[in-house]
Amino acid sequence: MYDMGMAQSVAAEAAGKVSARGVQVFYGTTHALRDVDIDIADRAVTAFIGPSGCGKSTFLRCLNRMNDTIPGCRVLGDIRLDGEDIHDPRVDPVQLRARVGMVFQKPNPFPKSIYDNVAYGPRIHGLARSRADMDVVVEKSLRRAALWNDVRDRLHDAGTGLSGGQQQRLCIARAIATSPEVLLMDEPCSALDPIATAQIEELIHELADQFSVVIVTHSMQQASRVSQHTAFFHLGELVEYGDTETVFTNPVDPRTENYITGRIG
């Protein structure tokens, strides 16, 4: 059962950056997500947990309308960014995605140089006026993604030539180069070793100073380490949402408890 009171208390304590009401997603005839209501706080990390196939990625993609690009996918319900309906016909998904950045599960750098990977977003959105401006943006993004020291001497080498962890950090640098207000991360550490994971968690922590970060993760430890709020999805439903500490130590729904203690999933 979804605890409405909990969600409202979270919404009350931190102004909701993104709020969703009654979100339903269909892939053709498959009902992948049922009636999700959630308020995602600004300048905080929200973790989505739940067993595979429960709709975490699907919901994440609703938030920047990446589901628009999947043929046969229908999204119903109301999603607002700063109170503005993102499905309003006046909204250009391109603009939305510049404000709601995304890091994918599998590192997917462009087959271009490291520099061009990071510079791409600012370039198409006209965020840097000169080459020097761009250099600053690229360096800043790479530094924040904890990649600068690894690549400062080979900015013009292929981004695809980096190791898996470096590639993921490059993708994060690319996503934050446009200074999005919300950063969506879909299992960003699933392909990484513990050291790279720790670096990215550190980074998420820092990013939360400025952005609203939403992270999908399969690791309970990660969720409890990095997030302030946790949402538990199960079979297309948002089962429980609240403070991370509460969800982990004192879950309301038995399904949450079962999942956290390793009995389902």
Ligand X SMILES: Nc1ncnc2c1ncn2[C@@H]1O[C@H](COP(=O)(O)OP(=O)(O)O)[C@@H](O)[C@H]1O
Please state the closest distance from residue 179 (CB atom) to Mg ion, in A: 26
**Residue 41 and residue 212 in contact, taking contact as beta carbons nearer than 8 Å:** yes
Which residues lie below 8 Å from residue 122, measured CB to CB, with a gap of 6+?
128, 134, 137, 177, 178
What's the rounded Cα separation, in Å, for the pair 218 and 11?
A: 25
Q: Which does 58 bind (CB under 5 to 8 A by kind): ligand X, other proteins, Mg ion, none?
A: ligand X
Helices and strands (H and E) in the chain: how many: 11, 10
Segment interacting with ligand X, rule: CB under 6 A, options 10-18, 53-61, 87-95, 249-257: 53-61
Task: Kindly list the strands in the beta sheet with 16-27, ordered across the sheet, starting from the edge strand earlier in the chain.
Answer: 84-85, 73-81, 16-27, 30-41, 237-243, 229-234, 45-49, 212-216, 182-186, 100-103
Task: Kindly state whether residue 217 participates in binding ligand X, applying the rule CB under 6 A.
Answer: no
CB-wise, 108 or 190, nearer to other proteins? 108
Binding residues vs other proteins (CB under 8 A): 64, 66, 69, 71-72, 94-98, 101-104, 106, 108-112, 120-121, 124-125, 158, 160-161, 171, 174-175, 177-178
When asked if residue 64 is in the footprint of ligand X (CB under 6 A), the reply is: no
Please count the other Cβ atoms lying within 10 Å of the Cβ belonging to residue 40: 26
Window of 35-43, 54-62, 146-154, 159-167 that interacts with Mg ion by CB under 5 A: 54-62
Residue 57 interacts with Mg ion (CB under 5 A): yes or no: yes
Q: Which stretch binds ligand X (CB under 6 A): 34-42, 52-60, 192-200, 219-227?
A: 52-60
Q: Which of the choices ligand X, other proteins, Mg ion, none does residue 32 contact, using the CB cut-off of 5 to 8 A by kind? A: ligand X
Closest CA to 179 of 150, 226, 144, 151: 144
- Are 137 and 172 within 8 A, CB to CB? no
Q: Which of 1, 12, 15, 70 binds ligand X (CB under 6 A)?
A: 70
Name all contacts of 86-90 with Cβ < 8 Å and 24+ positions apart.
none
Smallest Cα–Cα separation from 174: which of 70, 102, 260?
102
Q: Which of 1, 13, 21, 30 binds ligand X (CB under 6 A)?
A: 30
The least CB distance from residue 11 to other proteins, in Å, is 27
Task: Pick the binder of ligand X from 52, 69, 130, 149 (CB under 6 A).
Answer: 52
Residues that bind ligand X (CB under 6 A): 27, 30, 32, 50, 52-58, 70
Applying CB under 5 A, the residues found at the interface with Mg ion are: 57
